[in-house]
Structure 1
Amino acid sequence: MTSKPAQPVALEADAPRPLPRLARPPSVADWIPTVSIPVDCEPAHFHEGLLQLVLYPEQSSSTILRAEILDDEQDPADHLDLAGGDAQTRCPLTGYTCVRRVRRRVLPNRPQFDWAMEQECLFYDKRGSEAGESEALVVLLPDFAQLDRDRGDQRLPYYHPQVYALAFRYLADHAGTSTSLRIDLVPLPSQPLLAPLPQNDRLFRTAQVLAKYAAKLCNGQAVGYQKRIHHDLLVGRTAVQDTYQRLKDKYQWMLHSWQESTDATKHVFEDVAIAAWLVTYWAEIYPDTEGKPPGGFVDVGCGNGLLVYILAAEGYSGYGFDLRERKSWASYTAPRPDLRVQSLNPVTLLPSALDHTDSEGASGSAESSDWPFPRDSFLIFNHADEMTPWCPLLAALTPGPRVGFLNIPCCLHELAGRFERQTYTIPAAFLADLPPSQIAADHPSADGSEAWRASLPDDLHPLLFPFYAAAPLSYSKPAAKGATSAAAASPTGDVSILGGRYHAYQLYLAHLTLRCDFVPAREALRIPSTKNFGLVGGRAPRSPGGTGRDQEDVRDEVRQLLAEVVRKGEWRARRPEGKAGERSGH
């Protein structure tokens, strides 16, 4: 039977091992012991866990957008003395040694209600512990002077506990048999508090939540926890979040005029988040066309059409289509987006493109009205169901060297039938064409992805690592010359990853993407959906003089894939609904 996790317990006002008063800035009140929770870790794990809490406060509170790190000083003890300096950045505690100082600016998730706040985060070790007792400490100090300068008052924002100072403490007894994480606080001078805090007080409940979350981080560090879901691999977090905030403020009126029966909050914010990611990503890959796909975008299976509307309103040309018109479509005005009722049957559409060659010798059908994707367009497949695996094939036959796509799978479909496999292997010949890393060098991730990349085996590309898969993970690397252990290596040179069906499906889609001559990369999108993995594809770079042969090879790959689907005879295209269904279409 699994034991229940430890819970924080309330502390009495006279709890042992009290903290000394803050010397600078001078505190007018003593620390109030608040809650304590058992932890199973060492002081170093405590500091690493609390560092995560300091760097990523949004993971502990949905009211926080992120923290911008203004300064990170290692071993600043010599500078944190009582002599001179800015009072807000000098906070020694008698008997403690400051080993790290982080200054951060915390940004609100709701800027219309909250405001930004700067804060000192001071990491301490205990000097000369008594009776062998060890202690570590992290003190959070709001910068009231900064609040006064920026706002004209010293009020703390809602997302921050209403306290003068907050301390996370690691306490171990002399035998080391009992270790705990404890939270003490100093009340605001304007809001004196009784000790102990009443357990129905909001501040006490906040301390309970923080203690549980901090304990989880510290215990995770002790057992070697590694983050599995990594965001911001392709574009920077700051740019995406800032764009999202701008678009959310601009289009949240849609919540009150939603025409569909679906959850307005989920769908509006999800499409806003996808639009924010696309706008940021396009700015990176299309700098010479003002951050816009040269051929526009096409949203396949656009559903309620909100994503198409947002992109159109932001000045991006393109269109979307679906099997039936939605009630929302008529409500989108100024500008009115291009939304169409249309079905897509790749089994009948692809052969005509394979037989066509444009004026530049490239496959596709730029001049044909039957081909739905313009030259150099960007394809969007957002939860496109059974159309999901067809995305790279359709992109492959779309003319132009700057074609790209974003594929966000929902249900697990193969080209024909359901995807049921628990493992998938990409042949080594295709892996050799992968670039060194999918993480852009000039866009280091804000959530530690560079460390994640460095921790991978030297011969394992980040694309192959199951950042969505549950442990345990089994990795079979390519066989080295002269290897004798068949269990430790794949004799074919292929890479096999046992990471669960969802990661196997990612590898399946990545293999299709490679077969269609696109370079695949993954992103965990910041959208309110459990299916938020996105596969991005861009044209593979061409070697001089090799364009014609490479393109014919791609067409042969598509022919082979299409022939296998036809042989199985399982593909059935959906027909448009309503009046459009009376007409046959692609």
Structure 2
Amino acid sequence: MKLPFYYPKVKAYSFVYSTKISEGGEASENYTISPETEEGYLKLEIIPLDLNEPATKDSKMQYALKSIFHKLFKWCIQQKIGYKKKANHDVLVPKETYQYMYQYMKAKYGAKLIADWTEKTDPKKFVYEDLAIATYLICLWKEEEIKTQRKQSFVDLGCGNGLLTYLLVNEGYNGYGIDLADRKIWSKLCGGHKGMLRVDTLYPSKATFPNTEWLIGNHADELVPWIPIIASKSGESCKFLVIPCCFYALDGTRSLSLPLSESIGKYRAYTNYVKDIAHKVGYICEEDYLRIPSTKNIALIGRVKQSNLQHTPVENDFSKALQVASQTFVPRKTDRQKEEERQETSKKPKLENRSLN
């Protein structure tokens, strides 16, 4: 039997807990700890695959066994202090499916992308984060492909460095990315895929993508709250996955007032805001925590429409707010535009001084 890579290579292992230990540290019937001390002896027992070969001889094996032992110890401490897990991973995609796919993607693309990185940003952070997001999408889409009998199509809105688009296209998915400005690395990533990465300024109230099955918003800034809306206008079969990031409102500004409390932080409040928009435009919005090196790691997924959407006064108010936001929306300035404006501003006092002289 082929074991997953993260399993220790043993026939069986078990944890043994005892409140009876000897002074030397071994389990014994002669030395009993009082239950009031809440102490005990925890032991990891294994049956190796090869009885003639010591199972703990290999360094990787030692690491795996120490890791699972440490994990159990953490669970015991968390149970004792009453800790409750806040983030629930692997809600929509099975863990083992994801782990296998991630190892495949990492081995296929990781080292080369890092070696060829042309941006000023940290390649390890961006490469492995986008590998993880691409892996998640591919696992999610494989479930859809069972129904459709074909690979999914997509548009990556606010695609940034274009890496996520590149990974999905190279895995056989039909799609492209759009952003306000190109990046140095685009020419290297595009290769033979002409039109894979495109420069365009989107006005979301007018944007639609008919015949596209998925809209992606990976930290897409001011487009994030609009993506469920654009998806709803793009056809009955259009779905979306969005990872909320900076707290932009529908008008493209960051002047959004969020309901905060001791139990709800700003990121969770903003995520709820985007989920509420998705609900109002007809989606049953699911969520999952992604395994990425970012604190903003909640993925919101709209792949199922509500069967009987009722038009309530709240939704009428939303329609009015949406109409106002559509008229006032201003696209975000690119870093390049900001730098040009900064340089122009810094030149003005010098020009004024020269004219005075």
Aligned to 2:114: 255
| Alpha-carbon separation, structure 1, partners of 2:19 and 2:299 | 46
Q: Is 1:528 the counterpart of 2:288 in the alignment?
A: no
Q: Displacement, 1:504?
A: 1.4
AA aligned to 1:414 is A
| Alpha-carbon separation, structure 1, partners of 2:169 and 2:288 | 24
SS of residue paired to 1:304: coil
Q: Displacement, 1:538?
A: 2.1
| Alpha-carbon separation, structure 1, partners of 2:314 and 2:175 | 26
Aligned to 1:306: 163
Q: Displacement, 1:235?
A: 1.3
Alignment of 1:273-312 (within 5 A): 273-290=132-149, 292-293=151-152, 296-312=153-169
Aligned to 1:123: 16
| Alpha-carbon separation, structure 2, partners of 1:576 and 1:302 | 13
| Alpha-carbon separation, structure 2, partners of 1:268 and 1:234 | 23
Q: Displacement, 1:412?
A: 1.0
8 Å CA contact 2:9–2:48 kept in 1: the answer is no
| Alpha-carbon separation, structure 1, partners of 2:334 and 2:272 | 31
8 Å CA contact 2:154–2:174 kept in 1: the answer is yes
Structure 2: where are the runs of 5+ without partners? Answer: 21-28, 337-357
AA aligned to 2:330 is R
Judged with a 3 Å threshold, the aligned counterparts in structure 2 of structure 1 residues 329 and 555 are, in CA distance, closer, same or farther, namely farther
| Alpha-carbon separation, structure 1, partners of 2:100 and 2:155 | 25
Q: Displacement, 1:234?
A: 1.0
8 Å CA contact 2:9–2:49 kept in 1: the answer is no
Alignment of 1:34-433 (within 5 A): 107-108=5-6, 116-126=9-19, 130=31, 133=34, 136-146=40-50, 156-161=57-62, 216-252=74-110, 253-290=112-149, 292-293=151-152, 296-332=153-189, 335-336=192-193, 338-347=196-205, 349=206, 371-399=207-235, 401-416=236-251, 417-418=253-254, 419-423=256-260
Alignment of 1:453-532 (within 5 A): 473=263, 499-532=264-297
Cα deviation 1:390-419 (Å, max 9, x = unaligned): 1111111112x2211011011111113323
8 Å CA contact 1:395–1:403 kept in 2: the answer is yes
SS of residue paired to 1:536: strand
Cα deviation 1:114-168 (Å, max 9, x = unaligned): x8455512323346564654564332244433487xxx985644344389xx8xx
Judged with a 3 Å threshold, the aligned counterparts in structure 2 of structure 1 residues 519 and 214 are, in CA distance, closer, same or farther, namely closer
Aligned to 1:187: none
Judged with a 3 Å threshold, the aligned counterparts in structure 2 of structure 1 residues 519 and 162 are, in CA distance, closer, same or farther, namely closer
Judged with a 3 Å threshold, the aligned counterparts in structure 2 of structure 1 residues 116 and 215 are, in CA distance, closer, same or farther, namely closer
Aligned to 1:564: 324
| Alpha-carbon separation, structure 1, partners of 2:47 and 2:13 | 7
Cα deviation 1:299-354 (Å, max 9, x = unaligned): 0011111111111111100110111111111112565261101010124x1xxxxx
| Alpha-carbon separation, structure 2, partners of 1:404 and 1:303 | 21
AA aligned to 1:562 is L
AA aligned to 1:158 is S
Alignment of 1:564-583 (within 5 A): 564-565=324-325, 569=328, 571-574=329-332
Aligned residues: 320
| Alpha-carbon separation, structure 1, partners of 2:42 and 2:33 | 20
Question: Identity over aligned residues, as a percent?
Answer: 33
Judged with a 3 Å threshold, the aligned counterparts in structure 2 of structure 1 residues 162 and 408 are, in CA distance, closer, same or farther, namely closer
Judged with a 3 Å threshold, the aligned counterparts in structure 2 of structure 1 residues 217 and 153 are, in CA distance, closer, same or farther, namely closer
Higher helix share: 2
Cα deviation 1:182-224 (Å, max 9, x = unaligned): xxxxxxxxxxxxxxxxxxxxxxxx89x977x766543321121
Judged with a 3 Å threshold, the aligned counterparts in structure 2 of structure 1 residues 534 and 275 are, in CA distance, closer, same or farther, namely same
SS of residue paired to 1:340: strand
Judged with a 3 Å threshold, the aligned counterparts in structure 2 of structure 1 residues 339 and 106 are, in CA distance, closer, same or farther, namely closer
AA aligned to 1:251 is Y
| Alpha-carbon separation, structure 1, partners of 2:63 and 2:233 | 59
8 Å CA contact 2:33–2:40 kept in 1: the answer is no
